[in-house]
Amino acid sequence: MRTKASTAQIESLTSIISKTEQQINANPGVQALWVVVSPENQNRQHVVDAFRKFERGYPLKELGWQLLFILPIFFVFYAWSSSSVKKDNRIQTLISSHLLVIASIPIVLKMIELVLDLIPNHFFKNLFKVLHSLHLIAIWHYVVILGAIALGLFLVYFIQKKVFNKQKVMQKRLMKGACVFCNKKLPPNASSCPFCGSKQLEPCGNCHEETPTGGSYCIHCGTRAGSRG
């Protein structure tokens, strides 16, 4: 039960709120605003359209300013990781690649936040109402958790397998005439690296002729590297 003190406090707060509301509504600017947004005003639709336009454009501007601070960090880690892979420094590659994953998470989350901001609010309200009515609201939490785990695994897979995988690094070195293992410039027609001693040619599993190591296809028979033998 409420005590007399708590009842008096509630009445006092209600009185303060009422007086504050009256002061706000008495302000000439606020009164002019109510006139503009009233249904009888002919300019009301222009105000509504302008507000909706601002509401649609604001998330994009907000994302742009946020990425202005996040992307430089991402590109620093990207450059470090790329350099570490080219130098074949495993410790630095391990550290920089994980930092790159961490730096990319805020970017992905901001993109998801933008998509959610652009989705009408009533969509989620109706969704939560349905889940509540079916007593399945816990499913939403599981979906969010599984989605976060899947996102993290995808980022790790994409960065380590698609961006910095060994095959792509070897092909880039092969294209510029460098050793596919130590990345140092090779003498013309060198079959082995004079710096690290690694062989630059390997026998094709199909025609058994020597073809550059790291190439996707044999230079003699055109057989794909993964399908040789």
**Per-position pLDDT tens, the chain of length 229:** 456 667 778 888 888 888 888 888 888 888 887 777 777 777 777 777 777 777 777 777 888 888 888 889 888 888 887 777 767 677 777 788 778 878 888 888 888 777 777 666 666 667 777 777 777 767 777 777 787 778 777 777 776 666 666 777 788 888 888 888 888 888 888 889 998 888 988 888 888 888 888 888 888 888 887 654 4
Same structural domain, 118 and 160: yes
Q: How far, in Å, CA of 131 to CA of 42, rounded?
A: 41
Same structural domain, 21 and 87: no
Same structural domain, 72 and 138: yes
Same structural domain, 33 and 89: no
For residue 140, being part of any structural domain is answered with yes
For residue 163, the tally of other CB atoms under 10 A from its CB is 15
For residue 186, being part of any structural domain is answered with no
Q: What is the pLDDT of residue 131?
A: 73
Domain boundary among 111, 145, 164: 164
Structural domain range at position 30: 4-37
Q: Is 201 exposed, middle or buried (0-12, 13-18, 19+ CB in 10 A)?
A: middle
Q: How many structural domains does the chain have?
A: 3
Same structural domain, 67 and 135: yes
Q: How far, in Å, CA of 162 to CA of 159, rounded?
A: 6
Residue with tokens 């989350």: 109
- Tell me which H or E stretch contains 211: strand 210-212
Q: What is the pLDDT of residue 89?
A: 73
For residue 110, being part of any structural domain is answered with yes
